[in-house]
Amino acid sequence: MKSYWIVTKGHEAVLELRDVPEPKPKRDEVVVRVHASALNRGELFVGGAVHGGPEKLGGSECSGVIHALGEGVTGWKVGERVMGRARGTWAPYAVMEAAQVLPMPSRLTWEQAAAIPSSFLTSYEAIVRLGRLEKGEWLLVLGASSGVGVGAIQIAQVLGAHSIGTSGSAQKLEKLKSIGLDVGICTRAPDFSAKVREATGGKGANVALNLVGASVFPEILRSLAYQGRVAIVGYVDGKFSAEIDLNAVHVNRFDIFGVSNTKLPAEQRSLATRGFERDILPALVDGRVTPLVDRVFGFDELPAAKHHMESDAMAGKIVVNVAA
């Protein structure tokens, strides 16, 4: 079968289409016949925690149909429509840990379902499991138009929390307001703390989701409420180091943490998936939440999809229709 690989060449991640054998499931795994997959900036960002080594199978989430079951897999059967985080999803068939399999809501298209697993699960772990966002609290999303940013806004809405998002595009912010963003701040600069405090009645944000990187980190601390929590998820600015006001962290009892699956044990990944299934999936089933798909590309157009992502023109997820 044909499979796209991500290969590091210098400071760039490039895509290579290769012939590979159809995967076979090991114990506690399933093979999924992929209908649609999506792009995630993190796995294409050279030097980041997600990207990994000099080459790897491309694609980390998909929607599709269970094609084969590995030994020990229970609760699923061949032919079921599913979605989930997986490896090598830019291919007709991909391997998924059984613990990562989620039932695909029947109301969604393959493309919409493919936009869920990686972004929504990352958002869920950042703002719910670790960030402890509660009803009535304020969420600040830096880089709100990304897939993870959109997922966070929609999850906050399910929880009954309020959201503030930053973006360099006023047009993107208007689009995000249509799916639940409460306050949009049009900026790419670290100059948003005053507007955050104004929106929150002077208190600041309870949880901040940093998808931008170190360039905005000091300003995030200035935007936080007492006992605020900061989730570090991405570095689209390419900056990994920032000064920290330790006194502010100390006095205000801030909680700062990273969200990455690079070293996360399988059982911890499973806890996040099952928590998402319990807390958020019902909203995707009953229609309270619909994933925001920016654009759909064909399988042979995946390099063009990567270029579209790098142009920073999207709001939501870029999806690839693999089965068409």
Above 70 in pLDDT, residue 53?
A: no
87-120 tens-digit pLDDT: 999 999 999 999 999 999 999 999 999 999 999 9
pLDDT band for position 51 (cuts 50, 70, 90) = very low
CA–CA separation, 108 vs 203, rounded Å? 38
Give the residue-averaged pLDDT of 192-196.
Answer: 98
Cα-Cα-Cα-Cα dihedral of 193, 230, 116, 183, to 10°? -20
Quick one: CA dihedral 81, 62, 30, 155, positive or negative? Answer: negative
pLDDT at 15: 94
- Tokens representing 258 are 């990273």
Question: Where are the extended beta strands (E) located within the chain?
Answer: 2-9, 12-19, 29-38, 55-57, 61-69, 81-85, 93-97, 102-103, 138-142, 162-167, 183-186, 205-210, 224-232, 255-258, 293-298, 317-321
pLDDT at 268: 87
End-to-end CA distance of the chain: 15
Global confidence as pTM? 0.94
- For the chain, what's the residue count? 324
pLDDT at 127: 98
Give the residue-averaged pLDDT of 239-258.
Answer: 96
CA–CA separation, 258 vs 244, rounded Å? 15
Instruction: Give CA angle at 209 (205, 213), nearest 5°.
Output: 120
Residue among 107, 57, 101, 55 at smallest CA distance from 82: 101
Residue 283: HSE in the Cβ half-sphere, 13 Å Cα cutoff: 18
Domains in the chain with CATH codes: 2-116+291-321 (3.90.180.10), 120-258 (3.90.180.10)
- Tokens representing 250 are 């100390």
Output the average pLDDT for the chain. 95
- Tokens representing 294 are 């920016």
